């Protein structure tokens, strides 16, 4: 397993958060432009949380992208509406979909109500039927417990999340706070470019542990790292 991950993981280190944000935005912008040139449109799926704000701002300011042909969605979402400061959609709207990127379309994962029950998830999945496929870029984050997207240790639908076509499903986990909705792993791997954006020494240590031996259930990001899909890790202190 180690040999296989070594050849597919490209680890890049940057001096600081601003440099990382700029370089990641440039790489994702290249993917978006290439997808539009090849397929006429582009979709990207981004992570929420505390890490990606600067990257969102850098990407959203990029002028030489035909943003009207771009659909932005999230790899996962907390089941809260956009008035909540826990909303990943709110973060994307405030940080990325301003200025040049304001003409992009945003496909939310949250579809209303207090619980992601079957009817609500079906609504989200119906919307995602219009998402350009494959993704031009998928940008993952990682928690210190080894989760990525909403693939949490102890997640009640973790097995399905890592194997089903989806495109999305509900998941609840002790470490997740609210109930969540997440794209499934097979669907996230349908991408021209797969990125992992992490910052700080603690997360570098967590990634090293995830690259070692151990169960996927303990650190679900292992499912991504062991998938054989090429992944670019963007890290800075
Ligand atoms: O909604 C979310 O919480 C995310 O999409 C999640 O998967 C995130 O990427 C990690 O939890 C890292 O979060 P931080 O950037 O806050 O450390």
The pLDDT confidence band at residue 6, using thresholds 50, 70 and 90, is low
Residues enclosing ligand 1, CB less than 6 A?
Answer: 47-51, 75-76, 78, 88, 141-143, 147-149
For ligand 1, the distance from its centroid to the CA atom of residue 138, given in whole angstroms, is 14
pTM of the model: 0.97
Q: Which domains does the chain have, with CATH numbers?
A: 2-236 (3.40.50.1360)
The pLDDT confidence band at residue 3, using thresholds 50, 70 and 90, is very low
Q: Whose CA is nearest to atom 3 of ligand 1?
A: 49
Ligand 1 atom closest to the CA of 203, numbered from 1 = 17
Query: What local confidence, expressed as pLDDT, does residue 1 receive?
Result: 43
Q: For 41-79, how does the pLDDT look when each residue is reduced to its tens digit (9 = 90+)?
A: 999 999 999 999 999 999 999 999 999 999 999 999 999
Ligand 1 atom closest to the CA of 180, numbered from 1 = 1
The pLDDT confidence band at residue 2, using thresholds 50, 70 and 90, is very low
**DSSP bridge pairs for 71:** 43, 105
ipTM above 0.90, yes or no: yes
For ligand 1, the distance from its centroid to the CA atom of residue 151, given in whole angstroms, is 11
Query: What local confidence, expressed as pLDDT, does residue 149 receive?
Result: 98
Q: For 84-104, how does the pLDDT look when each residue is reduced to its tens digit (9 = 90+)?
A: 999 999 999 999 999 999 999
Is the sign of the CA dihedral 187, 101, 52, 212 positive or negative? positive
The percent of residues above 70 in pLDDT, for the chain, comes to 97
Q: Whose CA is nearest to atom 7 of ligand 1?
A: 149
Ligand 1 atom closest to the CA of 150, numbered from 1 = 7
Give the residue from 126, 121, 137, 20 showing the smallest Cα distance to 72: 137
The best mutation among 44, 48, 75, 175 to test binding of ligand 1, ranked by most ligand atoms within 8 Å of the C-beta, falls on 48
Ligand 1 atom closest to the CA of 144, numbered from 1 = 17
Q: Is the pLDDT of residue 5 over 60?
A: no
């Amino acid at each position: 397993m180690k040999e296989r991950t070594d050849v597919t993981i490209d680890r890049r280190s940057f001096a600081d958060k601003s440099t990382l944000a700029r370089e990641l935005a440039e790489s994702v912008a290249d993917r978006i432009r290439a997808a539009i040139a090849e397929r006429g449109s582009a979709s990207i799926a981004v992570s929420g949380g505390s890490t990606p704000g600067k990257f969102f701002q850098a990407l959203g300011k990029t002028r030489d992208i035909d943003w009207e042909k771009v659909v932005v969605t999230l790899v996962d979402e907390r089941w809260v509406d956009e008035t909540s400061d826990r909303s990943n959609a709110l973060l994307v709207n405030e940080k990325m979909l301003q200025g040049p990127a304001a003409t992009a379309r945003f496909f939310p994962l949250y579809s209303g109500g207090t619980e992601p029950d079957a009817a609500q998830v079906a609504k989200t999945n119906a919307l995602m039927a219009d998402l350009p496929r494959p993704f031009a870029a998928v940008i993952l984050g990682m928690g210190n417990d080894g989760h990525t997207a909403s693939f949490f240790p102890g997640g009640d639908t973790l097995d399905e999340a890592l194997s089903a076509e989806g495109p999305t499903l509900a998941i609840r986990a002790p470490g997740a706070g609210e109930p969540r909705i997440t794209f499934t792993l097979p669907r996230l791997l349908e991408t021209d470019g797969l990125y992992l954006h992490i910052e700080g020494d603690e997360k570098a240590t967590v990634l090293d542990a995830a690259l070692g031996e151990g169960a996927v259930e303990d650190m679900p990001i292992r499912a991504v790292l062991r998938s054989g899909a090429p992944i670019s890790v963007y890290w800075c202190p």
